[in-house]
Structure 1
Amino acid sequence: MKGTKGSETKALIREAALKQFLTKDYSMVPLKDIENSLSLSRGCMSYHYPTKQELFIDVINFYILDVQRIKQASNNLSNLSLFEYLNQYINNIAKVMENLSHIVLPEANINGTRAYMTLILQAEKNYPGFHQALNEIERNELAQLKLVVVKAQKEGEIRSTCNTDLLVQQIRLIFLGKSYQDSLRNGLDVNALREQLFFTYFLIKNK
């Protein structure tokens, strides 16, 4: 199971485990169900993931922590206007939601946003150090956004009277609030999120 084949097997196990953890509580997911879904032997499973917690941690690292880093990724931050940054940020969220929809089968009638948020809550309980790791990612995201907002103000893109700290918090709260609201409905509406963020942007944009 070494090399490319081993990596592919590990990826398949991780994806199968994600489907289980998205739809069931951590305590209700036996490794045997994942083995059976992939027709794997116990030996093969144990080779890649000796324990359920190790598998769970890898799932969280790959599908939550790494995804949160991708969501805020930008190769040319210093060249982006605030408008461009927001657009790129939303596009990254859209990619995350699209990838999630491919993993969680549509016929399962699952609210992907709610399942994803529930998985984060499970990670808080079953992944030592997760809370600190997620907080660090959020701090980096807010610091990145603050740089873009300050630059936008200095360059006259947004009004000089705008409180940059409050604007950064407002943008973050719009995303969190919309995510929570839509988790109670049919999943995150990315287009509606875009409208909300751009509405805020044009309120403080220089004429």
Structure 2
Amino acid sequence: MELSETKSKIIETAIKLYHQNGINNVSIEEIALASEISKGNFTYHYATKSELIDAILSSYCFELISVFDNIDSNAIDLKYYKFVIDSICELQKKYEFLLYNIFQILQESKRGNDIFNNTIKKLYPFGFKILNELNKAGDIRSCDSKEEMKSLIDQYVILTNYGIHMFSSDQNPLEMHQQTMASIITPYLTKEGDKKYKNFYC
């Protein structure tokens, strides 16, 4: 995702401030000051706070899809599965403030809603590919139907995008979320797959 130097600086600064203080506790003026640009220059790039939030959401979605870019079928195994889960959770840690407020953001922004929903649609082919390759490798059993596999992927998609919000009341929401995401696959593991899985997660 190509952004101008100024836009990138604004987004990086906003992410840092929102992460520290929460979306509702940081003003445009504070972001402009921390970015070392004038308010006029700020509003030239992002006229409203809503536009900035949409841009941050777009950045999150771009980075999320980038986790799956250039998947090599020959490299997909449970080690790669762990890499994907860990990468997603690191990304969610970076954008934790965004995901805590995701329902409010999607309700208030049609553009943000469109960006988010288009990203969700892109996740399914990646999910099918990873699960199919794990099955070919003998690490997981076959799903009984395409609908069952889609249901399995649904769980990952829901946790990827809404898990932080779902576990927000937990003492360690990110840790709980990561463990839950990783364990979705356990009912499908073969004996050999279970041994490999336990090497990574136990």
Q: TM-score, normalised by structure 1?
A: 0.67
Deviation at 1:172, TM superposition (A): 4.0
Shift of the 170–204 alpha-carbon distance from structure 1 to 2, 3 Å rule, reads farther
1:187 matched to 2:173? The reply is yes
The amino acid that maps onto 1:165 is E
- Please give the secondary structure, in 2, of the residue aligned with 1:56: helix
Unpaired runs of at least 5, structure 2: 195-202
Structure 2 residue matching 1:129: 3-state secondary structure = helix
Alpha-carbon distance in 2 for matches of 1:40, 1:180: 33
CA distance in 2, matches of 1:61, 1:178: 18
Counterparts in 2 of 1:179 and 1:172: CA distance versus 1, 3 Å: farther
1:142 CA displacement: 1.6
191-200 vs 82-91, which moves further: 191-200
**Offset at residue 156 of structure 1 (A):** 4.5
Q: Specify which of 28, 32, 42 is matched with residue 45 of structure 1.
A: 42
Query: Where does structure 1 lack aligned partners over 5 or more consecutive residues?
Result: 101-111
Q: How many residues align?
A: 185
How does 1:51-62 map onto structure 2 within 5 Å? 51-62=48-59
Letter in 1 for 2:34: S
Residue of structure 2 equivalent to 1:24: 23
Which residue number in structure 1 is paired with residue 32 of structure 2?
A: 35
Give, in whole Å, the separation in 2 of the partners of 1:191 and 1:49.
33
Asked if the contact 2:106–2:113 (Cα under 8 Å) also holds between the matched residues in 1, the reply is yes
Change (3 A) 1:42 1:167: same
Partner-residue secondary structure (3-state), 1:188: helix
Confirm whether residue 87 of structure 1 aligns to residue 82 of structure 2: yes
Match of 1:124 in 2: 106
CA distance in 1, matches of 2:47, 2:182: 46
Once the two structures are TM-superposed, the CA of residue 162 in structure 1 deviates from its matched residue by: 4.1
Answer whether contact 1:149 1:168 (CA < 8 A) is retained.
no
Between the aligned residues of both structures, percent identity stands at 20
TM-score normalised to the size of structure 2?
A: 0.68
Deviates more, 1:35-44 or 1:168-177: 168-177
Taking a change above 3 Å as real, the CA distance of residues 40 and 76 of structure 1, as seen in their structure-2 partners, is: closer
Partners of 1:149 and 1:164 within 8 A in 2 = no
CA contact (8 A) 2:140 2:193 kept: yes
SS at match of 2:110: coil
Question: What is the CA-CA distance between 1:37 and the residue it aligns to?
Answer: 3.3
CA distance in 1, matches of 2:65, 2:132: 22
Computed over aligned residues only, the root mean square deviation of the Cα atoms, in angstroms, reads 3.5
Query: What are the residue-to-residue correspondences of 1:93-104 with 2, within 5 Å?
Result: 93-97=88-92, 99-100=94-95
Distance 1:24 1:206 in 2: 42
Q: Kindly state the Cα deviation for residue 145 of structure 1 after the two structures are TM-superposed.
A: 1.4
1:149 maps to a residue whose letter is L
Contact between 1:49 and 1:55, CA under 8 Å: does it hold in 2? yes
The offset of 1:124, in angstroms, is 0.8
Q: 1:69 aligns with which of 65, 69, 75?
A: 65
